[in-house]
Structure 1
């Protein structure tokens, strides 16, 4: 008579065992899922991990995610504050580039994020270093490491001198995956205050005239010029892409008074502006 209880008890034990394992697995959330590791930087008891969607730095706009691991406990730090300074070493000088502050990624416990805009690089990707400063539990740390920055295949950023004798950096952010449609165009605009400081330029206008040089230099309908957005400090407009292929995004930069600082109209006698970005899809 006792044997009739053994089978049900065994099933109950198996059920609770499986349920507990599933619960544990469900808590293993990968906070960098969908991102590729660019580089790890070891600094004493901490390892800083750098990620983005491609797994490498490129010229132009780079959205970067960071994590700091305590090497002793093999856990990731949730309460750090971070800042960074990218520097390119030239033969006779060094300079930085536009960059954001680093903040905690929305909805993440251990991931921090920001952006860097590399305006140039050497052919082999060398020349750049990255200094990371961070604070954990009131203690300050700093580490500097060389990094590789590869050249993007199209002109997705440009550095230029305006007619006001100010050096500007313009970088394409969106569309990342252009389609045959009216696409949201998003760019960052910065000026060189000095070799290490590149503040955001506010309240300018960027006139847009997209053309296909390989197709008779035709344009497209329903484009809108880019204007400044106070919410995130970027410029937004619409770019209409009517077919796949290579597009030259001809631009003119106008200050708050409407004065053209760089760029020209595209006409029958002038096939492109001296200020432009490129898209190909």
Structure 2
């Protein structure tokens, strides 16, 4: 056979072999934390725990967090861990935790786990917080702990307060993360402080909403709806109408299941802002 016919045949054979090998290997490795930024790593003698979110940092307020555990002996990520965590704030005369969720395997991912932490305060330099992770792999218990930095958010996206029922609460803005002019899905988390270490989610309350623009005559907006509890995610959902860009104060009133006022006031000519509020600027 002439060389000009042999070369194309060899080229096709090489392509076919390469494609077959790619298929056998299952294609390129999937990056299960694509689109996320690493916050930091927490390590012990056996594992490195990687913490990720969209911002690449912890901030006061609601933080959605993704986690991977790397086995140092095999240099591979763990797929079968059971994980819990305990964020702690060390103060001069006391220490306390903050609202935080259970950690679950991320949907559709084999090595990523996820949960949230609500940091209700921080020091001016971001210091004071630590994070301990306890986890079990193949019936063996491990832990790792490290100091973390929590940056203060410029707007008030979280608030702690004493209500008229003599309980302390934490209220945190979850969404919208990227507000638009129009109707936004508003989601907040509400937590009650049982003690310095326990902040369970509060069910079956109502949060009344009155958004205002202080720099524009304190005008409000149409088509807002109050927030009600959603059992699907244990958060409070409502509609937030934003008619223009700028600085908004989300004036709130917290009502219990018996429709009794726990915190907050109506906005009037004489009272331009509720004592219970969150801030939003876009």
**TM-score, normalised to structure 2's length?**
0.97
Cα shift readout 1:233-273 (whole Å, capped 9, x = no counterpart): 00000010000000000000000111111000000111000
Instruction: Tell me the residue number matched to 1:171.
Output: 172
Distance in 1 separating the partners of 2:216 and 2:270: 16
Distance in 1 separating the partners of 2:4 and 2:199: 78
Matches within 5 A, 1:36-51: 36-51=37-52
Instruction: Tell me the residue number matched to 2:272.
Output: 271
| 1:215 equivalent in alignment to 2:219 | no
Instruction: Tell me the residue number matched to 1:236.
Output: 237
| 1:195 equivalent in alignment to 2:196 | yes
Cα shift readout 1:198-242 (whole Å, capped 9, x = no counterpart): 011100000000000000000000000000011110000001000
Cα shift readout 1:90-128 (whole Å, capped 9, x = no counterpart): 000000000000000000000000000000000110000
Distance in 2 separating the partners of 1:41 and 1:5: 60
Shift of 1:14: 2.8
- Give secondary structure in 2 for the equivalent of 1:12: helix
Distance in 1 separating the partners of 2:171 and 2:21: 51
Number of aligned residue pairs: give it. Answer: 281
- Give secondary structure in 2 for the equivalent of 1:270: coil
Distance in 2 separating the partners of 1:2 and 1:8: 11
Instruction: Tell me the residue number matched to 1:67.
Output: 68
- Give secondary structure in 2 for the equivalent of 1:198: coil
**TM-score, normalised to structure 1's length?**
0.97
Instruction: Tell me the residue number matched to 1:182.
Output: 183
Matches within 5 A, 1:71-110: 71-110=72-111
User: CA RMSD for the aligned pairs?
Assistant: 1.3
Shift of 1:18: 4.2
Instruction: Tell me the residue number matched to 2:8.
Output: 8
- Give secondary structure in 2 for the equivalent of 1:7: helix
Shift of 1:46: 0.6
Distance in 2 separating the partners of 1:195 and 1:181: 39
Cα shift readout 1:58-93 (whole Å, capped 9, x = no counterpart): 000000000000111111000000000000000000
Structure 2 unaligned residues grouped into runs of 5+: none
Distance in 2 separating the partners of 1:11 and 1:139: 52
Distance in 1 separating the partners of 2:21 and 2:36: 27
Distance in 1 separating the partners of 2:168 and 2:97: 13
Shift of 1:22: 5.3
- Give secondary structure in 2 for the equivalent of 1:190: strand
Structure 1 unaligned residues grouped into runs of 5+: none
Do the aligned partners of residues 110 and 225 (structure 1) sit closer, same or farther apart at CA in structure 2, a change above 3 Å counting?
same
Distance in 2 separating the partners of 1:116 and 1:21: 44
